[in-house]
Amino acid sequence: MKTTMITACLMLCSYLNAQTYTLEVNMSGFKNNKGKVKVGLYTSEATFLKATFLSLDASIHNEEAKVVFENLEKGEYAVSIYHDENNNNEMDKNLFGIPKEAYASSNNAKGSFGPPKYKDAKFIIKEDVVLHITID
């Protein structure tokens, strides 16, 4: 009986630790349907806008797009998106390093004199989440 109880507790703990969630990102405000939207998911301030944890692309239809990240563990995340109008897989910038393609972040975080900050874009996943981001 004691062995059965221990086994049941271990199985329950294993199930709780293995639980994952889905993040749906709905995007709107695109000026056209050209190219695609690039979506990056980040897990820390140190990697925000430098190295994605996961990334997805989506087609744009009726100036809107959607991606779904699956099997995410509970934790802190941030999302950044940009409209890759010319399909070159990079955010085009001018001579001063200012983006030429539209972009946005989770929580619709905006930067002042630079990119948005992780602290403004971060959110917690502890259940399935749906985000709505409006691109500039």
Would you say residue 14 has pLDDT above 80?
no
In angstroms, the CA 82 to CA 35 distance is 11
Q: Model-level pTM? A: 0.85
Q: Model confidence over 31-76: pLDDT tens digits?
A: 999 999 999 999 999 999 999 999 999 999 999 999 999 999 999 9
The answer to whether residue 15 scores a pLDDT higher than 70 is no
pLDDT at residue 136 in the model: 76
Work out the pLDDT band at 6, boundaries 50, 70, 90. Answer: low
Q: Is the pLDDT of residue 16 over 80?
A: no
pLDDT over 70, % of the chain: 87
